[in-house]
Amino acid sequence: MKLQTHAWPATYERDGEAQPRMGFFTDTSLCIGCKACEVACKEWNRVPDSPKGFTGKSYDNTVDLGANTWRHVAFVEQHKALGVAEAESLVQSASLEQLIDSTGLGTYQDGDGMRWLMASDVCKHCTDAACLEVCPTGALFRTEFGTVVVQEDICNGCGYCVPACPFGVLDKREEDGRVWKCTLCYDRLKDDREPACAQACPTKSIQFGELGDLRDRAEERLAALSDAGAENAQLYLHGDQDGIGGAGAFFLLLDEPEVYGLPPDPVDTTRDLGSTWGAVGVAMAGLGAAIAAAVIGGRR
């Protein structure tokens, strides 16, 4: 049974021919935190290094997405009671061992019930992309694959797109003042090659393909995890009935979005601009009528 109908744009034009919308499905239950995606992204796109030093956030040394971090692997340490006898090793627990083997539900430490949740975050390539809507120069555009890309030679560094993004993805590079972000390896897609991060991922946590196929695959994966006992497993940005009209990059999470530093209910920040300006227009018309009436009344 499908979770959502696919009302989002399924195809885009390329040289007069329809192209399927492409995207990412990130299955965080398979992420081992190796950071191969971060390295591959930086190497292929020549993204400058972004050393943070010790961050105090486990092995997370990139902290968040930014102009110099187009892929960010988050490490979340959780201490939870997992229902295992105190004298029994978590690894020796038959039910938990089966769950780990069949689903890859993170890494567990004996005794104290600690779990690492790891997830590779990236630009969501929103269907309703606020960054694209507010860009005054046309530097941001929608590609024939349905992705959102910044043209660095057109960006003037105004920064309007930075606060417009509901995920905090966009940022300006200090060296040149322009905005940079994931392009979903647009140059590779045009040559029929998958993005560098997906190609480098050793566990296939990052999966690339036609968005419709990825959504179907994600539903099957979620069903398997739920049957295995992963009660909090959920799909994030999977459907098109959210505040951004659906995403070109969506995730299977093992806990609530907030645990991973993701907004639970992201909204296109330009969504209500039409109604807002309409209300302003009505208010201004009413104010003008009131002023006119006062002036006419004062002359009598």
Q: Are 113 and 80 in contact (CB under 8 A)?
A: yes
Supply the mean pLDDT for the chain: 82
Which residue matches tokens 């195809």?
Answer: 11
Strand partners, 144: none
pLDDT at 60: 85
> Band of the pLDDT at 62, cuts 50, 70, 90?
confident
pLDDT above 70 for 145? yes
Specify the length of the chain in residues.
300
Q: Are 212 and 10 in contact (CB under 8 A)?
A: yes
* C-alpha triplet 103, 109, 115: angle, nearest 5°: 55
pLDDT above 50 for 288? yes
pLDDT (tens digit per residue) in 231-260: 899 999 998 888 999 999 999 999 999 999
pLDDT at 85: 42
What gap in Å lies between CA 53 and CA 231, rounded to an integer?
Answer: 35
pLDDT above 60 for 138? yes
pLDDT (tens digit per residue) in 70-79: 999 999 988 7
pLDDT at 10: 61
Instruction: Write the burial class of residue 225 (CB in 10 Å: 0-12 exposed, 13-18 middle, 19+ buried).
Output: buried
* C-alpha triplet 119, 34, 62: angle, nearest 5°: 65
Which DSSP symbol is given to 137?
S
What gap in Å lies between CA 149 and CA 138, rounded to an integer?
Answer: 10
User: What average pLDDT does this structure show over 34-58?
Assistant: 88
> How is 11-24 classified by DSSP, letter by letter?
EEEETTEEEE-EEE
> Band of the pLDDT at 89, cuts 50, 70, 90?
very low
CA distances, 81 to each of 30, 106, 113, 197, 206 (Å): 22, 15, 6, 34, 29
Q: Are 148 and 131 in contact (CB under 8 A)?
A: yes
Strand partners, 207: 25
SS3 category, 56: coil
CA 240 to chain CA mean position, Å: 14
Dihedral sign for Cα 101, 106, 112, 113, please. negative
